[in-house]
A and B are shown apart, each in its own frame.
Chain A
Amino acid sequence: MIRFVSIRLVEIAVTLALMSFVIYGLIGLMPGDPIDLMRSSDPRASAADVARLKAAYGLNRPLGERYLAWAGAAFAGDLGYSRLFSEPVLSAIRPRLVNSLLLMGAGFTLALLLALLLGIAAARRPNSRLDRIVNLLCFAGVSMPSFWLALLVILLFSVELRWLPASGIATAGRGDLADRLKHLVLPVATLTLINLGPYTRFVRAAMRDALTRDHIRTARAKGASEARVVMHHALRPALIPLVTILALSCGNLVSGALVTETMYSYPGMGKLIFDAVMGNDYNLALATLLLATAVTMGANLAADVAYCCLDPRVSLR
């Protein structure tokens, strides 16, 4: 196992190095830069201003030279300065990463718990009324665009009932725990509802498959309680496909949810990455995209290890 993990870690490092080059190149190939955009909206900006600002921001140097300078500094631990947010890259990322982890983590966990509950219940009674209702809700959740769901939720709980704030992360001048939690309720609920549909479908399908296997019949014949049959004998093999889905979803924890963040004006990683790429903020875009890549690849590695624990027949080579 140690050899397998070591090889995979080296692969991740090589992939990240290649990714950094590709991302830098792709951003560089996008036409226009922020100074060009500034000039188009400000008639007072002269040609001299444009040239001076491009030099000040280093945008007049060749792309390769800029990449090498960034790579050298990044290797030494300096991720540079975000031009768009006027602060060091790590300072720009840190609060938004915390916000995203809170939002995505809560949404992800709640969706997963509810999906397990609903998926198992539906799988145990296929084609029952409960199964049909769960299926209907799942398809509704999958089909509903997140921006529309967010708007509906805001209209109901903020505009009509006035129970919860419609946007932001805290009330100005407050920001205590209760206030922060209150601001989290609607975006978390939206994300939970968005993720609930697909997760429930996966759990239901995996459980349906597991509950028809021979060893389940054997367990029941041996007199095991229904709870033990479901939670111990069926759920364990059913978790393998779910682990894959969860591993792939881990990247979202740090890459955020652009639409939900935009609708709730929630400063998270999704909006940060979008702004960084659209604003040609190389340092910030690279750091955030590489972080998301690293987490996704790391989670996939963890999933491979988890398969081994969940199913003794799986071996790592």
Chain B
Amino acid sequence: MSENSLRSTRWGWAIRCLVIPACLILLSDQRQAVAGKDELTIGITQFPSTLNPNIDAMAAKSYVLGATLRPFTVYDADWKLVCLLCVKLPSIEDGDAVPVDLPDGKKGIDLTFTIRPDASWGDGVPVTTEDVLFTYQVGRDPASAVANGELYRRITDITVKDDKTFTLRVDKLTFDYAAINDFVLLPAHLERSAFNEPAQYRVRTRYDNDPTNPGLYNGPYRISEIAAGSHISLEPNPSWQGPKPHFRRVTIRAIENTAALEANLLSGTIDMVAGELGFPLEDAIAFEKRHRDAYQIVYKPSLVYEHVDCNLDSPVLADRRVREALILGLDRDAMTGQLFAGQQPVADSFVNPLDSGYSTDLPHYRHDPERAAALLEAAGWRKQANGPRIDANGNRLTLELMTTAGNRSRELVEQVLQSQWRRIGVEVRLRNEPARVLFGQTLRHRQFQLAMYAWISSPENVPRSILHSREIPGPGNSFAGQNLSGFNNPETDRLLDALEVELDPARRHSLWAELQRLYATELPSLPLYFRSSVFVLPKWLSGVRPTGNQYPSTLWITDWKPEQ
């Protein structure tokens, strides 16, 4: 064989070795592109670090568990408290919620819940009060690393009536007494062995060591496959007795980069992008302009309240007139209109207009630069021909504004604030820090003047942790409070204390109104807007109802189906 023919034979084999497998790979599976409508692939931007419902608070985990676990109570898309695992919400009127006098003289309440008779774990074992007692034992144990221990601390005792009925004794009678949203049951028959050593529970929980075990789930779906860092697959739970879920398989795929998320959506690799963990609003608006005909794009204002905290220890910001001038100097309507296409409603206080506690009877600060200038003059800040205002001692009216570095949306807003405040003679210097530095160090130690960030709450959430004077972070409470402005107002404290325990809805509403009025008048923080979450859904999908609160839309996944 000649050298040439030998060489051509070698090349021939090389080409065959490369090309044939490549063709086979390309042609082997076109199923993905034409996936039937009995499968749904959802894109989110985070992968859950654990699947144990009570360890670590993480949006991605809540999203996955929404389809696989039923909490007793949650707030629905109308922000009303509803029962999912229980038969009904206990109420004082019906006699299954009974106020009691506690030995320490305080008022508590006994709440009787009944687990749905058809509720069972994915392995067929019924959900019973045994699971309730076990979950309570885990939640109460300080070594078990349960993320939110407050509810478990407040429950002082559980009395079991039968397999399905139990009574909780709660040490405080509050208006939202029926909400036990954080009480998410663990299957005692599977998890008890992992809890033999409470300090090792977070390491040994089956939710992380055997996550595809069907017995861990009592919702319409169970987890059938996990590719760490990539995707989680769900399949219908055979033991589920509720409304039958439509999809044979739901895949939740984690794609952190939003440009890649968009490319995956357009390529058909994913069918939809979840609003809970999806596109930032500005990306979604741009996407809508290009692809509005191909997708349903749903905006839902949420409970995420963007605002600017004023550090009231700063001599400049301690003057209420300066704070009012700052808010009057902002054209927030134009800002949300221009930056967010009007999809993020301007906030008047920390209470969202969709919340039942919302009041319209409070100051609304429209853009009024003349009045802002007058207030600054009255506060002793004189206008100069050039540059910022100065006081009697020649000090310049210069403030430092901080936010999370790398958050494009906030950085844009920050520039608008800087520009608008410059027009009323306030010089603003920007100093941004990564989230972990800003929240872990700077804000915690109140080393700021103005800080822009968000509060995340739940419907009718009493803002004790952010407004009560006892929550001002300092050495006394190991810098653990969240009242970062340092707002110390006895009337606010009184209203917060009264609000929590007021059972009468009408009186409670007037307390809410008073609290909002006080907040909007005193302005410890400057309200900006409520963030919206954006759901990008395929045209053929119906039944997805964004909630706008921290309870994910997947809790109602049985309503999701292809449009007829």
Residues of A within 8 A of B (CB): 30-33, 36-53, 55-57, 81, 84-87, 92, 95-96, 147, 150-151, 154-155, 158-159, 162-175, 178-179, 181-182, 185, 262-267, 271-272, 278
Which one of A33, A37, A50, A154 contacts B263 once the chains associate, using CB atoms below 8 Å?
A: A154
Give the distance in Å from the alpha carbon of A42 to the alpha carbon of B482 in the complex.
Answer: 10
Tell me how far the C-beta of B134 lies from the nearest C-beta in chain A, rounded to whole angstroms.
19
Question: Is B466 an interface residue when CB atoms closer than 8 A count as contact?
Answer: yes
When C-beta atoms are compared, the residue in chain B nearest to A33 turns out to be: B440
CB neighbours (8 Å) of B22 from chain A are 185
Give the distance in Å from the alpha carbon of A163 to the alpha carbon of B32 in the complex.
Answer: 10
Beta-carbon contact of A42 and B249 below 8 Å = no
Give the distance in Å from the alpha carbon of A31 to the alpha carbon of B148 in the complex.
Answer: 23
**18 interchain pairs, CB-CB under 8 A:** A38-B57, A42-B147, A43-B457, A44-B465, A56-B202, A154-B260, A154-B263, A154-B264, A166-B267, A168-B231, A171-B29, A172-B231, A173-B233, A173-B249, A179-B28, A185-B25, A265-B255, A267-B227
Which one of A30, A162, A262 contacts B257 once the chains associate, using CB atoms below 8 Å?
A: A262
Given contacts A36-B440, A56-B143, are A166 and B482 in contact (CB under 8 A)? no
Convert B231-246 into 0s and 1s, putting 1 for each residue whose CB lies closer than 8 angstroms to a CB of A. 1010000000000000
Tell me how far the C-beta of A114 lies from the nearest C-beta in chain B, rounded to whole angstroms.
12
Q: Tell me the chain B residues, 6-20 only, with Cβ under 8 Å from chain A.
A: none
Q: Tell me the chain B residues, 419-451 only, with Cβ under 8 Å from chain A.
A: 435-437, 439-444
Give the distance in Å from the alpha carbon of A222 to the alpha carbon of B439 in the complex.
Answer: 74
Question: Is B229 an interface residue when CB atoms closer than 8 A count as contact?
Answer: yes
CB neighbours (8 Å) of A265 from chain B are 229-230, 253-257, 260, 264
When C-beta atoms are compared, the residue in chain B nearest to A271 turns out to be: B229
Given contacts A42-B456, A49-B150, are A167 and B269 in contact (CB under 8 A)? yes
When C-beta atoms are compared, the residue in chain A nearest to B444 turns out to be: A36
Beta-carbon contact of A45 and B26 below 8 Å = no
Given contacts A151-B263, A267-B230, are A43 and B143 in contact (CB under 8 A)? no
Give the distance in Å from the alpha carbon of A172 to the alpha carbon of B443 in the complex.
Answer: 42
CB neighbours (8 Å) of B466 from chain A are 43
Beta-carbon contact of B225 and A172 below 8 Å = yes
Beta-carbon contact of B230 and A170 below 8 Å = yes
CB neighbours (8 Å) of A56 from chain B are 142-145, 199, 202
When C-beta atoms are compared, the residue in chain B nearest to A264 turns out to be: B260
Q: Which of A44, A47, A170, A263 has the most CB of B within 10 A?
A: A44
Tell me how far the C-beta of A162 lies from the nearest C-beta in chain B, rounded to whole angstroms.
6
Question: Is B485 an interface residue when CB atoms closer than 8 A count as contact?
Answer: no
Q: Which of B90-98, B99-107, B473-481, B554-562 contacts A (4 or more CB under 8 A)?
A: B473-481
Give the distance in Å from the alpha carbon of A315 to the alpha carbon of B521 in the complex.
Answer: 81
Which one of A163, A168, A178 contacts B269 once the chains associate, using CB atoms below 8 Å?
A: A168
Beta-carbon contact of B440 and A172 below 8 Å = no
Question: Is B251 an interface residue when CB atoms closer than 8 A count as contact?
Answer: yes
Question: Is B455 an interface residue when CB atoms closer than 8 A count as contact?
Answer: yes
The 4 closest A-B pairs by CB, nearest first: A32-B440, A267-B229, A47-B480, A31-B441
Beta-carbon contact of A52 and B225 below 8 Å = no
CB neighbours (8 Å) of A50 from chain B are 478, 480
Convert B49-65 into 0s and 1s, putting 1 for each residue whose CB lies closer than 8 angstroms to a CB of A. 11010011100000000
When C-beta atoms are compared, the residue in chain A nearest to B482 turns out to be: A43
CB neighbours (8 Å) of B415 from chain A are none
Beta-carbon contact of A41 and B456 below 8 Å = yes
Beta-carbon contact of A31 and B230 below 8 Å = no
CB neighbours (8 Å) of B254 from chain A are 265
Convert B127-157 into 0s and 1s, putting 1 for each residue whose CB lies closer than 8 angstroms to a CB of A. 0000000000000001111011110010000
Question: Is B228 an interface residue when CB atoms closer than 8 A count as contact?
Answer: yes
Give the distance in Å from the alpha carbon of A43 to the alpha carbon of B32 in the complex.
Answer: 42
Give the distance in Å from the alpha carbon of A278 to the alpha carbon of B202 in the complex.
Answer: 21
Which one of A37, A45, A57, A267 contacts B145 once the chains associate, using CB atoms below 8 Å?
A: A57
Beta-carbon contact of A86 and B50 below 8 Å = yes
Tell me how far the C-beta of B100 lies from the nearest C-beta in chain A, rounded to whole angstroms.
24
Which one of A37, A49, A87, A262 contacts B435 once the chains associate, using CB atoms below 8 Å?
A: A37
Question: Is B392 an interface residue when CB atoms closer than 8 A count as contact?
Answer: no
Convert B256-273 into 0s and 1s, putting 1 for each residue whose CB lies closer than 8 angstroms to a CB of A. 110110011011110000
Give the distance in Å from the alpha carbon of A264 to the alpha carbon of B253 in the complex.
Answer: 11
CB neighbours (8 Å) of A31 from chain B are 436-437, 440-442
Tell me how far the C-beta of B432 lies from the nearest C-beta in chain A, rounded to whole angstroms.
14
CB neighbours (8 Å) of B463 from chain A are 43
Which one of B41, B145, B442, B480 contacts A51 once the chains associate, using CB atoms below 8 Å?
A: B480
Beta-carbon contact of B461 and A43 below 8 Å = yes
Beta-carbon contact of A168 and B57 below 8 Å = no
Beta-carbon contact of A162 and B26 below 8 Å = no
Beta-carbon contact of A168 and B148 below 8 Å = no
Given contacts A42-B57, A151-B263, A172-B41, are A267 and B29 in contact (CB under 8 A)? no
Give the distance in Å from the alpha carbon of A263 to the alpha carbon of B264 in the complex.
Answer: 10
Given contacts A182-B25, A265-B256, are A168 and B230 in contact (CB under 8 A)? yes
CB neighbours (8 Å) of A163 from chain B are 26
Convert B164-206 into 0s and 1s, putting 1 for each residue whose CB lies closer than 8 angstroms to a CB of A. 0000000000000000001000000000000000010011010
Convert B14-50 into 0s and 1s, putting 1 for each residue whose CB lies closer than 8 angstroms to a CB of A. 0000000110111011001100000001000000011
Give the distance in Å from the alpha carbon of A174 to the alpha carbon of B39 in the complex.
Answer: 14
Beta-carbon contact of B439 and A36 below 8 Å = yes
CB neighbours (8 Å) of B225 from chain A are 172-173
Question: Is B319 an interface residue when CB atoms closer than 8 A count as contact?
Answer: no
Q: Which of B142, B224, B269, B441 has the most CB of A within 10 A?
A: B269
CB neighbours (8 Å) of B123 from chain A are none
Given contacts A38-B147, A43-B461, are A178 and B28 in contact (CB under 8 A)? yes
